[in-house]
Structure 1
Amino acid sequence: MKIKRAFIGLSVLCAIMLCSCSRTPGGIAPAGSPNGQASSQLPTATPASGSSDLSQSSRPDASTATSPAKPPALTQESIQIKLKQMTANEKIGQMVLAGIDGTTMNAQTKALIQDYQAGGIIFYKVNLANTRQATELINSLKDTNSRNSTPLWLSLDEEGGRVSRLPDELHKFPTNAVIGQANNEKFSFAAGSTIGLELRAYGLNMDFAPVLDINSNPNNPVIGNRSFGANAKVVSRLGVQTMNGLQSQSIVSVVKHFPGHGDTSIDSHIDLPVVQHDLNRLRSLELVPFAEAIKNKADAVMVAHILLPKIDATNPASFSKTIITGILRKELGFQGLVISDDMTMGAIATNYELGEAAVKAVLAGVDVILVGHEYEKEVKVILALRQAVKDKRISMDQLNTSVTRILTLKSKYGISDQKITEPNVAKLNAEVDKVMKLIQ
């Protein structure tokens, strides 16, 4: 009843302040579900529109996926009211994005959502076997979370090329290396927009893409053709266009891997890469695409598990206050969401205790901890964050700052737990084929 009263008050406040708030799906909704619980929907503002030179003929067909509603976003005052109604555990849950096992709802996934109030889910290839199964899984997640006060991030890595999590029925875009060789900004925007259209059709709302790493080391075992190339200007231009394309479809684009994973010789999925560059070198090369993305209204940045001893000799970038707060926030002026790379990767697992690493990441300025695998590890991170808040290592002010960013972005993009209908794969494939003609 407490949540219900809070959301009724919030809806009334928004109606008074914004007058034009509608009751469309994804808009402001009173606590009117049949069981009296709050609806986990937030209203939207229209994201940046992207490139103006994209012809209408190469834009994705809007009929392929249902367009999200665009009522006004929550005001900061309204968000602060919502924040005050949340418990500390609810706030901590919002700061965790978790992977799940299997292709159907199970007891552990249900517990992550209902008992630990995880703020989002990341999908891998093993979770999305085919379109029908993916639709059923995503709808079951939305339904399970509808009892919570805040909708879920539903995310994946859909970069194109070899990193694709969507079902194999869908036609795929080439690697970023191929796109970089074409060096066609119009195509990059159209590709980002079409991937965004696909994700939206599947009920997803966040993409860990594009890769903004500069492929300056040909022996790099993890980036390679995931990068647009070795030229900072090309990576910047094409990366920003891809980001804007995703945003144009109301998909949150998470640019990665800050401050640059392109000149590494170790795969961070296996162990911790060490990069012997100083800040001046980063400013001249690796940071350039990220600075351009931030200038062009990047909403979210993923921080890499790499050690840069000439900048921070002790902490990898993913929990370095010098890198996250000092460089990303203060020097580059980024005010959006900071997300860690997967904390179960070898770079962290073989060198640090998982719970403590998550706490250090938050203390350094990370807003969302990504824990991609194993339910026990996900719970361990959540419990470690709870204990750190209880012990006042993580202050309530810091917790509120991160959760405010999360709620603001969910509101801006109209994230909701509204169920989807099964996507029309033939239409989506036709859109991909149409865009591919731009570089054929």
Structure 2
Amino acid sequence: MASAMLSILLLTSCSYSSNSSQPVVTNSPTAESTPSPTTSATPVPSSESDPITLQVSSMSLEEKIGQMLLVGIDGTVLDDQAKKMITEDKVGGIILYKNNIQNLKGMVSLVNSMKESNSGNPAPLFMSIDQEGGKVSRMPKEYASFPSNGKVGTRNDANAAEMMGKLLAREVISAGFNMNFAPVLDINSNPDNPVIGDRSFGNSAELVSTLGIAEMKGIESEGVVPVVKHFPGHGDTSVDSHLDLPIVKKTASELAELEWLPFQAAIKEGTDAVMVAHILFPKLDADKPASLSSKIIGQLLRGDMKYQGLVITDDLTMGAIMKNYDLATAAVDTVNAGSDILLIAHGYDNEKRVIESLLDHVKKGKIQETRIDESVYRILALKAKYNLSDEPVPVPDLTELNKDIKSWKLSIEK
């Protein structure tokens, strides 16, 4: 049902651009807060003939909030809690990590079982993964390995970066994924950074912009949704946001001269999705990290930079949030700030807390339902643009793909 509905949306709501095979859709840490809702740059079209608008209007509030969650699961098989998140909470997407993946056959089986469980839900799942290359590689050993972005950056070759994007996309799509949290657009400007390092293409804005956009285009050209990260820039932090909250004391003008440049380039090139980081920028917002901030998401990213695509939070169960903010309140803050998808990578209980908090705040009028509708429209439009499907995939023969990856690696090591 979901796949058929989005096929109709694809045909009736999207048009094709001349340079793409894809269709285009024209502070108290623990106290409950009630921020003013942020109006996004892309309101939901009011035309009664727009099929995505019609689908949004036909969905229950619970279904709409479900679409805004992208969740992680425990283990390597579909357990009862994972199945409930899909069949009962109707989450819009899943992310798999290294601990969910043992081998090729098991991974494909897990992906297919999640897609099967989504049958009858409003839209196909975003099946996502962090597959950057280098130390952030989630795919099993049957796949040939990728070097880090930093290694590719030493070549300063946009064609090589674009081919990397194509190969990464071929890799993840072969196993049934349709969204990759890559490329990294952070600039490696702080040698003491514990979390970025060679995940970045290098230490200059020009290099990161050129190679990052090339990789992004390579990924999307193969039919996989690329998610650029970590806005407004994680390259100058000295704290790992997985563990605690980084603080960057740069002014807006300082950030505009370096960190923001790759993201602005990606926006200019039509990036479909941006991940926002858990970093406190006190010169921009003294109270909330970027991922919860209406000043950074609503005013800066959507307003000043005129970004109209999906905004996805970094994992809200990371230490940066869980040690410093109440999760239920953080979920409300990020939605009112303008985020479309909330990443809840760990804990069924955390997922339930977020859903209950969002439902409660909408019913009490502390989140406007029109704010929810804006996000769900963007989500469904992107799923239609990429013609996503819950169709199962066979266990792939990796002979040709691995040969191409190894050949490409040799070309950049010369």
TM-score (normalised: structure 1): 0.85
Aligned equivalents of 2:17, 2:104: Cα separation in 1: 27
Q: Secondary structure at the match of 2:8?
A: coil
Q: Secondary structure at the match of 1:242?
A: helix
Q: Does 1:326 align with 2:299?
A: yes
1:41-440 correspondence runs (5 A): 77-440=50-413
CA change 1:71–1:336 in 2 (3 A) is closer
Residue 333 of structure 1 deviates from its aligned partner by 1.0
List per-residue Cα deviations over 1:302-344 (Å, max 9, x = no partner).
0000000011000000011110011111111110000000000
CA change 1:187–1:42 in 2 (3 A) is farther
Residue 70 of structure 1 deviates from its aligned partner by 7.2
Aligned equivalents of 2:17, 2:107: Cα separation in 1: 26
Q: Secondary structure at the match of 1:117?
A: coil
Aligned residues: 391
Q: Is the 8 A contact 1:43 1:73 kept in 2?
A: yes
Aligned equivalents of 1:277, 1:73: Cα separation in 2: 35
List per-residue Cα deviations over 1:243-274 (Å, max 9, x = no partner).
00000011111000000010011000000000
CA change 1:49–1:164 in 2 (3 A) is farther
Q: Secondary structure at the match of 2:95?
A: strand
The unaligned stretches of length 5 or more in structure 2 are: 27-46
Q: Which runs of 4+ in 1 moved over 6 A?
A: 41-48, 69-76
The unaligned stretches of length 5 or more in structure 1 are: 12-25, 30-40, 51-68
Q: Does 1:28 align with 2:8?
A: yes
List per-residue Cα deviations over 1:69-98 (Å, max 9, x = no partner).
978979980101111110000000000000
List per-residue Cα deviations over 1:148-174 (Å, max 9, x = no partner).
121100001101100011112111211
Residue 47 of structure 1 deviates from its aligned partner by 8.0
Q: Secondary structure at the match of 1:28?
A: helix
Farther-moved stretch of structure 1 (197-206 vs 232-241) = 197-206
Q: Secondary structure at the match of 1:158?
A: coil
Aligned equivalents of 2:379, 2:114: Cα separation in 1: 19
Amino acid at match of 1:28: I
List per-residue Cα deviations over 1:37-87 (Å, max 9, x = no partner).
xxxx9998668867xxxxxxxxxxxxxxxxxx9789799801011111100
CA change 1:425–1:354 in 2 (3 A) is same
Aligned equivalents of 1:234, 1:150: Cα separation in 2: 37
Amino acid at match of 1:244: K
Aligned equivalents of 1:387, 1:133: Cα separation in 2: 38
Farther-moved stretch of structure 1 (430-439 vs 160-169) = 430-439
Q: Is the 8 A contact 1:196 1:250 kept in 2?
A: yes
Aligned equivalents of 1:191, 1:222: Cα separation in 2: 22
Residue 103 of structure 1 deviates from its aligned partner by 0.8
Aligned equivalents of 1:248, 1:349: Cα separation in 2: 37
Aligned equivalents of 1:360, 1:328: Cα separation in 2: 16
Amino acid at match of 2:305: L
CA change 1:137–1:161 in 2 (3 A) is same
List per-residue Cα deviations over 1:159-213 (Å, max 9, x = no partner).
1100011112111211111111111100000000011011111110111111100
Q: Is the 8 A contact 1:321 1:363 kept in 2?
A: yes
Q: Is the 8 A contact 2:133 2:148 kept in 1?
A: yes
Q: Which residue of 2 aligns with 1:38?
A: none
Aligned equivalents of 1:308, 1:103: Cα separation in 2: 37
Identity among equivalent pairs (%): 46
Q: Secondary structure at the match of 1:370?
A: strand
Q: Is the 8 A contact 1:189 1:244 kept in 2?
A: yes
Residue 293 of structure 1 deviates from its aligned partner by 0.6
Q: Is the 8 A contact 1:214 1:261 kept in 2?
A: yes
Q: Is the 8 A contact 2:17 2:23 kept in 1?
A: no
TM-score (normalised: structure 2): 0.90
Aligned equivalents of 2:15, 2:197: Cα separation in 1: 36
Residue 133 of structure 1 deviates from its aligned partner by 0.4
List per-residue Cα deviations over 1:392-433 (Å, max 9, x = no partner).
111011010000000000000011101111111222211211
Q: Secondary structure at the match of 1:121?
A: strand
Amino acid at match of 2:211: L
Amino acid at match of 1:417: D
Q: Is the 8 A contact 2:22 2:385 kept in 1?
A: no
CA change 1:72–1:351 in 2 (3 A) is closer
